């Protein structure tokens, strides 16, 4: 099992450690609800060094990425981040990723930990058609980079104390190569998986200790808390963010998953699965991913059946939890087309009992909900 450069700090801080995507990772420190509310109300730090990082470089980098991604990297400028996905050639999703443009010939792809090898194989196989050579134009740096996510309304005030230039007001989904904690050329990105604000910081593994110690030297006095994978999941679910392997995978289309907004069609661009996805967008799909909340007490879980009010099965739960902010069961799942509309009455089968629910718009919470 792999470890991250921060693993020893998690153990020292009493984390409950589990295997995740081949890594030993902290699932919780002081409890999921406590950590969740710390991020919603103050600030928390997540070790996300298990995520993968793949460089795409060279004069054909933009052309290549325009073909292998659903979103269009031509919309990017230097210092801009884009959410996208890799279509698998069969209408499904290889992975959902972030794309960072450093310049028109240099891009960083941040991919899900469990998919690093699959994504690398996909990119190198397609890259061969564009003259993209592994180790040169394509480079898998996943084992060389450490990453911390500092999230919450106080996160940027804390991080600003580590930076000599202004970063507190960096626009959402942009990034800077800047000095952080005395580390030159760190990537500081106004992104995250919580909807609570903050940033993600990428440094070389050898600089991880320096970043960690500097962060806590200021964070200890600002209410910063360690956060594990458990709260990361409940935080992203309150925002209705998809989790690869649960809500999206090789058998789900970005259109039926509600990711049409990152699937850009234009006359001057061909991309993998374009005709199929364009047809789905025009004609609709037989099922779609929706958010729902329970109207009676219960906790929906991945794999639970979804039914109509008469008990006929119409879909399945892909993610579910008890929302620490709303204090009610919330979830996402695929349902048949007639039940997609907001307000549709459905039910979740929990231990043989149908618990009423209704389809709601995502995100489940808004900026003031946790205050």
**What pLDDT, in 10s, does the model give residues 238-284?**
999 999 999 999 999 999 999 999 999 999 999 999 999 999 999 99
- Please tell me whether residues 152 and 135 are part of one structural domain: no
Provide the pLDDT for residue 371.
54
Q: Is residue 151 part of a domain?
A: yes
- CA 58 to CA 63: how far, in whole Å? 10
* Model confidence at 212: pLDDT above 80: yes
Q: What are phi and psi of 177, to 5 degrees?
A: -90, 115
What is the per-residue pLDDT for 370?
Answer: 56
CATH number of the domain bearing residue 66: 3.30.70.1400
Domain end marker among 140, 155, 188: 140
Digit-coded pLDDT (tens) for 154-196: 999 999 999 999 999 999 999 999 999 999 999 999 999 999 9
Of 140, 171, 196, the domain-final residue: 140
Same domain flag for 329 and 343? yes
Does residue 273 belong to any structural domain of this protein?
no
Asked whether residue 247 is assigned to any structural domain, the reply reads: no
Arithmetic mean of pLDDT, 302-322: 98
Residues 345 and 201 in one domain: no
- 187/78 same-domain check: no
The tokens for 256 are 């039926």
Is the residue at 246 inside a domain? Answer: no
CB neighbour list of residue 334: distance below 8 Å, 6 or more residues apart: 252, 256, 287, 288, 289, 290, 315, 316, 318
Residue 231 lies in a domain: yes
What residue numbers bound the domain in which 92 lies?
Answer: 52-140
Residues 181 and 220 in one domain: yes
Residues 6+ apart with CB under 8 A from 26: 10, 15, 16, 17, 18, 47, 226, 228, 229
Is residue 369 scored above 80 in pLDDT?
no
- pLDDT of amino acid 210: 98
User: In this structure, are 185 and 37 located in the same domain?
Assistant: yes
Residues 42 and 59 in one domain: no
* pTM, 2 dp: 0.97
Q: Indicate if 206 and 191 belong to the same structural domain.
A: yes
- 263 domain-assigned: no
Judge whether residue 220 has pLDDT over 90. yes
User: Of 140, 163, 187, at which residue does a domain stop?
Assistant: 140
CA–CA distances in Å: residue 88 to residues 95, 176, 338: 9, 31, 28
Is residue 359 reached through a cis peptide bond, with omega within 30 degrees of 0 on the bond before it? no
> How many domains in the chain?
3
* Residue 187 belongs to some domain of the structure: yes
The verdict on 184 and 305 lying in the same domain is no
| Percent residues over pLDDT 90 in the chain | 98
pLDDT above 70 coverage of the chain, percent: 99
Contacts of residue 312, defined as CB under 8 A and 6 or more positions apart, other chains included, come to none
CB atoms closer than 10 angstroms to residue 7:
18
Q: What is the pLDDT of residues 107-127, one digit of tens each?
A: 999 999 999 999 999 999 999
Note whether 23 and 75 are same-domain residues. no
Neighbours of 222 (CB within 10 A): 13
- Mean pLDDT throughout 313-337? 98
Residue 340 has pLDDT above 60, yes or no: yes
In angstroms, the CA 268 to CA 169 distance is 35
CATH of the domain at 35: 3.30.1360.120
Report if residue 29 sits inside a domain.
yes
What pLDDT, on a 0 to 100 scale, did the predictor assign at position 170? 98
Amino acid 366: pLDDT: 80
Residues 63, 165: one domain? no
Q: CATH code at 356?
A: 2.40.30.110
Predicted local distance difference test score (pLDDT) of residue 237 = 98
Q: Are residues 44 and 160 in the same domain?
A: yes
């Amino acid at each position: 099992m792999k470890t991250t450069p921060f693993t020893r700090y998690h153990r020292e801080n009493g984390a409950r450690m589990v295997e995740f995507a081949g890594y030993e990772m902290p699932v919780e420190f002081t409890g999921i609800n406590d950590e969740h509310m710390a991020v919603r109300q103050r600030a928390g730090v997540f070790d996300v060094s298990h995520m993968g990082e793949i460089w795409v470089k060279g004069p054909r980098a933009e052309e290549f990425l325009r073909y292998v991604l659903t979103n269009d990297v031509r919309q990017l400028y230097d210092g801009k981040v884009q959410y996208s996905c890799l279509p698998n050639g069969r209408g499904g999703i290889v992975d959902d990723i972030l794309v960072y443009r450093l310049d028109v010939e240099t891009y960083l792809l941040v991919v899900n930990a469990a998919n690093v090898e699959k994504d690398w194989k996909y990119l190198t196989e397609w890259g061969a058609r564009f003259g993209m050579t592994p180790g040169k134009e394509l480079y898998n740096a996943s084992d060389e980079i450490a990453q911390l996510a500092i999230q919450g309304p106080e996160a940027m005030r804390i991080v600003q104390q580590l930076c000599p230039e202004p970063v507190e007001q960096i626009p959402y989904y942009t990034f800077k190569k800047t000095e952080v904690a005395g580390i030159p050329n760190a990537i500081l990105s106004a992104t995250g998986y919580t909807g609570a604000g903050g940033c993600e910081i990428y440094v070389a593994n050898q600089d991880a200790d320096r970043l960690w110690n500097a962060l806590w030297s200021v964070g200890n006095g600002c209410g910063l808390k360690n956060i594990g994978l458990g709260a990361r999941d409940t935080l992203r679910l309150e925002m209705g963010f998809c989790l690869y392997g649960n809500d999206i995978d090789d058998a789900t289309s970005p259109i039926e998953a509600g990711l049409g907004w990152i699937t850009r069609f234009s006359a001057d661009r061909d991309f993998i699965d374009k005709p199929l996805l364009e047809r789905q967008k025009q004609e609709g799909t037989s099922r779609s991913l929706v958010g729902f909340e329970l109207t009676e007490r219960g906790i929906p879980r991945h794999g639970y059946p979804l039914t109509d009010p008469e008990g006929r099965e119409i879909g399945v739960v892909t993610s579910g939890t008890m929302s620490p902010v709303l204090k009610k069961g919330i979830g996402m799942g695929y349902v048949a087309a007639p039940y997609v509309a907001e307000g549709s009455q459905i039910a979740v089968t929990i231990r043989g009992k149908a618990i009423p629910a209704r389809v709601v718009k995502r995100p489940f919470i808004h900026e003031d909900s946790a205050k």
